Structure 1
Amino acid sequence: MVYKLDLDYLERGGGGTLTVGGAPSLEPSPDSLDLVKVVLLGAPAVGKTSIIQQFVWSDFSEEYVPTDRKHTFYPSVIINEHLYEVKITDVPVIPYFPINSYYEWAHYRFYGLRSATAYILVFDLSNVETFQYIRTLRDQMVESRDMRNVPVLVVGNKQDLLCSNTPSAASGLQQLAIAESACGDSREKRRNIVNLVRKHWKCGYVECSAKYNWRVIAVFKELMEMIDALEWSGGGRNSEPPPDSSAGGSTQENRCVIA
């Protein structure tokens, strides 16, 4: 039995059920519609695997288990009435992005890093130092492959931990002062990150919490809308107007469904 999940409906607070086979599945046949290869990258313990598991299985584990090998998942996504087969690849932390095919073959065989359709770069909002890892990685990506028409989405995970690390030994007023100071510093750093990502990198940006499933759907909805927009702008669908634009000028919301 297959259930379909309306991402717009879930973002508005509705319910829904998702099943994609319960485990990483076999790769779709070559004649399936539009295979989109998405790779998640980030520093250790930022929650890459948890984001995927919440999206695919609606599940979260408190136990941290470092990713030690490649895992692949194959949900099907419908956006603007167009079906995409999505290959989501979760890989161990990589020290650098391969500068050419030789280095990829020698060190990251079968990861598919350089052939990805899109990338999700994840960092920990409660530890903004983890952003430096994806910043370096993104610079290496730009230098080593053609990133034109390759969507990159930056995701700040662990939104639930923001401003929650206040020492319990402090008094009530001290805790408040420490929390306000920490939150102020955190907000300033986050503003700088958002400004860099959106204005200079021209990339998408989403904050979420894999633990509580806050805006995890929005992560993949944002990415698929970026991919779908590129498909339209490239004239890949007979240059027809997208289904949400009509002659009368009215628009309807994009619909994004997972099968």
Structure 2
Amino acid sequence: MNDLLTTREVQDLLKLDRTTVYRMLKEGRLTGVKVGQQWRFHRREVEALIQGASSAAADRPAPTIDPRTRSPLTPVPLPLHCVQAIQDVFADLARVGVITTTTDGAPLTQVSNGCRFCALVQATDAGRAACRASWRALAARSDRTPRIATCHAGLKYIHARIEIGEQPAAMLIAGQFRVDDAPLDTRRLAHDFGIDPGELDAALGEVTILDDRMRAQLGSWLQKVAHTFEEIGRERAAMIGRLRAISDLAVIDRSH
């Protein structure tokens, strides 16, 4: 028996359409592997869904998936497709790189408007780990006022917390910019992360330099976008609560 199922076979077994199967894949309720250009799914996992082995997990938010590694992250009550779209627009308008992460620095979205300098660093395992450590350090700050900080690579970034139900749920981080053209120690970075120093130097020259006015506006814009995400998260949590209440009523009705 083939242990890997095609999308069509999963549709037939779960009695779902293709869109729903891919949504379950994106939300982490199904895991799959790419074979060429096609997705394949583990038969045992699909059969576990059919048998109700995943019913306990159904009462919790589906895990968010790291867009690079597809590994589960801490669940957050945010519709990430909406977050990504808004984040993309904000990044283009502000002319900086933007990402939304968990409170421990794990990426929830893809980087919007990323610069080549950071792409070179983040293309390495060590570079990604260093970036995540920098993002995680932001969560330790107690103040809610966005303040510009310096990342491990010497560029600038700023963040705003996203709180839902008075609890920190995620962080919105705008970065990958400079405040002047002072030299950076690109040779050290190139050595630490195994990057060609000439290529890194050339990429540094392409990084956006924000003037005083733009830096002042960036903090204000960042907070407004973070508040928008908070409102979206609250609405989504309320909607899920209403749907669960309806589901509970249906279960009670069938039991009588």
Q: Which has the larger radius of gyration?
A: 2
Normalized against structure 2, the TM-score is what? 0.23
Normalized against structure 1, the TM-score is what? 0.23
Q: Structure with the greater relative contact order (CA < 8 A, sep ≥ 6): 1 or 2?
A: 1
